[in-house]
Amino acid sequence: MALSRRSFLQITSAAGAGRLLASFGDVFRAAQPTPLAERTLITACGVCDSACGIRATVRDGVLRFMEGLPEDLQGRGYLCPASALASGQMRTLPEDLQGRGYLCGKGKAAAALLYDPDRLKYPMKRTNPAKGLEVDPGWVRISWTEALDTIAARFREVLDRHGPEALLFVTRPAPDLWLRFMRSIGAVNRVDHIDTCYTADRIVQRYTVGGKSWCNDLEHARYILLFGWDLVARNKLVFTHGIVAAKEKGAKVVCFNPEYSITARFADEWYPIRPGADLAVALAMIHVILSENLFDKDFVQNYTNFPQYESQIRQHFAQYTPEWAEAESDVSAEVIRHLAREFATMGPSIAPAHKKTLCANYANSGQLCHAISILNILAGTIDRPGGRFFPRSVSIPGVDAIVPPPPYPAVKGRRVDGKDKLPLVLEDGSGLFSTLADGMLNKYPGMIQAAFINSYSLLSFPSPQRMEQALKTVPFVVVMDTLPVDATSLADIVLPSITYLEGNDVLARDYHAPWPQVIARQAVVPPMFEAKSIGFVAVELGKRLAPDYFKNPDGSWISPAAILDEKARRLGLAANIAEFAAQGIYSKEQPFVPRTSFATPGGTGKCQIYVPQFPEKGAEPLPVWKKRRDLPSPEFPYYYLTFIPAVHRRNSTENNAILHEMFPENAAMINPALAARLSIREGDRVRIRSRAGAIELPAHLTETLRPDCVMVAHGFGHRSKLLSLAGGKGARDGEVIPDWSVEEMIQAGDWFGAGAIMDAVVNIEPVRA
């Protein structure tokens, strides 16, 4: 038998291994038989909520390669750049419906997050009581047990002394185990970023058509009307595919955006609308469609409350003439008329609204979302081919269905974000980022005694500088994350979180679901270092603080793994999650049957153009014109816009080595005409100042922006030293955006809780050396 040099070495040296083990047995062990075989695993991307399908190649415990999943309706076999570049290679598999075999860059670069040297690795506690972004906390490692015991003890003390209102959770309401934990202790103060993203649209869609849907059947639309919508630039592959497919089939695309955006480049007509005036154009388009009776008669008569409220509706929109809208929006009356006529007659037509696009983030965005919803209703395409449709989703049983809890305690106490003053937001269940700092600093100073922050950075807030002040008033702060975000520096305890590539879940698809699809998310590699899931933390804190809610009927503790197995079993997918993960995706094609009844409040089964429930909740039953929150003035003459670059996700990917190389730093985008007036050249440092704060960054001159605007990418300006790549790079866009009080929100007529993060006006000046 021929013996290779290596194997000879192995045989001769194995006997000597004991010597090393004697002195370093804590860090070495005798080699085990190694599964050297390469494995291919299916999972779901977790960079954004699209959850595109991924096929991951793992060699010897290391993720080597990721590609889109061709069977997947959502990613349709593609990965976005954030996922793909991770492995340095990408491949396209065009059969899949959603990613179509692709992953976007964010998805593909995800391994660079998994293996980021800056990752949080072990639980830690601070030893220096002084807090500040520039103060060394004196971190020391602690065990998970010590971390959980400490958190539970402090939370217990706060609950006993101050009640549940003194606990703040800056977390999503997911996963179900975490929600159960918060409910089990009667948590009243939970906030997440949804108000700066899509709360307004979610509320409006529920009342007008019976539920928020992400599904836009762009592919079968003949006319696509986009208010600020730039999801192609967000790298939401499913929508990119839709726009491209629609264009291939000859659809017309019209785009309103102060910037000639990535999506605008697909448009047949682009209108550089005045920021915050989309509402005026939408109202005037409704005016034209109604006054000329161009709406879809069958749909409007049979499936909406138009017949019941026709006179109110017609009378209301009579005031919003195209000539009036022209004066507000810089879009000509003639254009508004011709677009309204085309939209109503060239269909199927669709006007999507989605997430952090320009339209969902003005103080008047609730009104705008209502107007957009009415346009879709008048086009007759709600849940129809070529329109917005409801996902044919699968309801995944939650932990409360699998192990019913004892009755939860009543939710009592003051709301630090003031959302109890906004009935529509209160029933929506989301909290408010934009009013949180005001609540903590001005309304209820000292009320919050402990906070738990999961996967949110200070950058997520308007006026992060105010949020930093607010967090410093909290005596005990826990931060759980994958990376050292800004908030980590203010934490008392830091918990290392897994990435989606290290965790298990079962997910229903809702971004493009003409038929039911379920996808498995499985750990393609074991968690790095001592990272754990938020589900684990929920159960462990639950055991310590509310044990009755975390027991199975036989008295044993609830196990996140067993819950997942049971979900897979109850869905009829497989005997357990591992078995389902081996299949990866469930997707069963079924004919699309359009809805004839719509689950709007009030029980009529009709879409509601006129929302009779709104007045009792503060809002108007029909959308009314409201100006944006801040208008240009001599002191602050320019509009301030922000955007998320295509290769980044919110503010969580800037330290990704691959994505950092693609988009390392933000700049102040300024039209050359404005720059010339202000004597600013390409690359000059400029100071952008608003009533909230000021930032400095280099100028980038671009013809793509209206000359009365400045635009800055979100997600940069992580504080120095925090992240080895992103730390200190660029400016925090939010420092210029005023946060506000709930009273100001109400005064602005924003009953829908929109974060108003696009409403800032600023001054721009060159910084002379």
Least distance to another protein from the beta carbon of 529, Å? 6
617 makes contact with another protein (CB under 8 A): no
Backbone angles phi, psi at 80, to 5 degrees: -75, 165
Q: Which is nearer to another protein, 128 or 469 (CB)?
A: 128
The DSSP letter of residue 550 is G
The encoded tokens of residue 454 equal 């999961």
Least distance to another protein from the beta carbon of 140, Å? 5
Binding window for another protein (CB under 8 A); candidates: 109-117, 377-385, 515-523, 539-547: 109-117
61 makes contact with another protein (CB under 8 A): yes
Binding window for another protein (CB under 8 A); candidates: 170-178, 318-326, 521-529, 617-625: 521-529
According to CB under 8 A, which one of 291, 552, 556, 724 is a site residue for another protein? Answer: 724
Of 415, 408, 498, residue with least CA distance to 454: 498
383 makes contact with another protein (CB under 8 A): no
Cα 562 to Cα 382, 505, 524, 669, distances in angstroms: 39, 11, 19, 51
Strands of the 505-508 sheet, one edge to the other: 505-508, 517-521, 585-587
Q: For the window 309-348, what string marks contact with another protein as x by the rule CB under 8 A? A: ----------------------------------------
Binding window for another protein (CB under 8 A); candidates: 58-66, 209-217, 271-279, 349-357: 58-66
Binding window for another protein (CB under 8 A); candidates: 118-126, 374-382, 425-433, 752-760: 118-126
464 makes contact with another protein (CB under 8 A): no
According to CB under 8 A, which one of 149, 310, 530, 744 is a site residue for another protein? Answer: 530
**DSSP string over 673-737:** HHHHHTT--TT-EEEEE-SS-EEEEEEEE-TTB-TTEEEEESS--PPTTTSTTTTT-S--GGGGS
Least distance to another protein from the beta carbon of 118, Å? 6
In angstroms, the CA 408 to CA 415 distance is: 18
According to CB under 8 A, which one of 138, 446, 637, 683 is a site residue for another protein? Answer: 138
17 makes contact with another protein (CB under 8 A): yes
According to CB under 8 A, which one of 196, 361, 457, 488 is a site residue for another protein? Answer: 488
37 makes contact with another protein (CB under 8 A): no
Least distance to another protein from the beta carbon of 90, Å? 16
528 makes contact with another protein (CB under 8 A): yes
Of 375, 373, 425, residue with least CA distance to 200: 425
The encoded tokens of residue 471 equal 């967090």
According to CB under 8 A, which one of 187, 680, 722, 737 is a site residue for another protein? Answer: 722
The DSSP letter of residue 399 is H
One-letter amino acid of 286:
I
Least distance to another protein from the beta carbon of 181, Å? 23
Chain centroid to CA 40 = 29
If one counts every other C-beta atom within 10 angstroms of the C-beta of residue 739, the result is: 27
If one counts every other C-beta atom within 10 angstroms of the C-beta of residue 562, the result is: 16
Is the separation of the CB atoms in 128 and 135 below 8 Å? yes
Binding window for another protein (CB under 8 A); candidates: 18-26, 73-81, 215-223, 238-246: 18-26
Q: Which is nearer to another protein, 117 or 407 (CB)?
A: 117
Of 251, 241, 247, residue with least CA distance to 96: 241
Of 595, 612, 211, residue with least CA distance to 380: 595
Q: Which is nearer to another protein, 105 or 755 (CB)?
A: 105
30 makes contact with another protein (CB under 8 A): yes
According to CB under 8 A, which one of 3, 28, 615, 682 is a site residue for another protein? Answer: 28
Least distance to another protein from the beta carbon of 477, Å? 13
118 makes contact with another protein (CB under 8 A): yes
In angstroms, the CA 125 to CA 136 distance is: 12
According to CB under 8 A, which one of 91, 94, 115, 678 is a site residue for another protein? Answer: 115
26 makes contact with another protein (CB under 8 A): yes
Give the footprint of another protein on residues 646-665 (CB under 8 A): 657
Kind of pairing between the strands at 167-170 and 450-454: parallel
Q: Which is nearer to another protein, 28 or 592 (CB)?
A: 28
Q: Which is nearer to another protein, 10 or 293 (CB)?
A: 10
Binding window for another protein (CB under 8 A); candidates: 258-266, 284-292, 298-306, 525-533: 525-533
In angstroms, the CA 104 to CA 89 distance is: 12
Binding window for another protein (CB under 8 A); candidates: 92-100, 134-142, 667-675, 757-765: 134-142
If one counts every other C-beta atom within 10 angstroms of the C-beta of residue 727, the result is: 17
SS3 78: strand
The DSSP letter of residue 310 is H
681 makes contact with another protein (CB under 8 A): no
One-letter amino acid of 372:
I
In angstroms, the CA 440 to CA 379 distance is: 45
**Count of chain residues binding another protein (CB under 8 A):** 61
**DSSP string over 446-472:** T---EEEEES--GGGSSSHHHHHHHHH
According to CB under 8 A, which one of 1, 2, 13, 596 is a site residue for another protein? Answer: 13
Rg of the chain, C-alpha, whole Å: 27
Of 613, 156, 612, residue with least CA distance to 427: 613
Q: Where are the alpha helices (DSSP H) in 476-576?
A: 534-545, 560-570
Q: Which is nearer to another protein, 29 or 39 (CB)?
A: 29
Is the separation of the CB atoms in 492 and 478 below 8 Å? yes
Q: Where are the alpha helices (DSSP H) in 189-305?
A: 199-209, 237-248, 278-291, 297-303
According to CB under 8 A, which one of 51, 73, 111, 243 is a site residue for another protein? Answer: 111
The encoded tokens of residue 606 equal 């009709």
121 makes contact with another protein (CB under 8 A): yes
If one counts every other C-beta atom within 10 angstroms of the C-beta of residue 710, the result is: 25
Give the footprint of another protein on residues 215-234 (CB under 8 A): none
Least distance to another protein from the beta carbon of 9, Å? 5
526 makes contact with another protein (CB under 8 A): yes
**Which residues sit at the interface with another protein, rule CB under 8 A?**
6, 9-10, 13-14, 16-17, 19-21, 23-32, 34, 60-63, 111-112, 114-122, 124, 127, 136-141, 484, 488-489, 491, 494, 526-530, 657, 721-725, 727
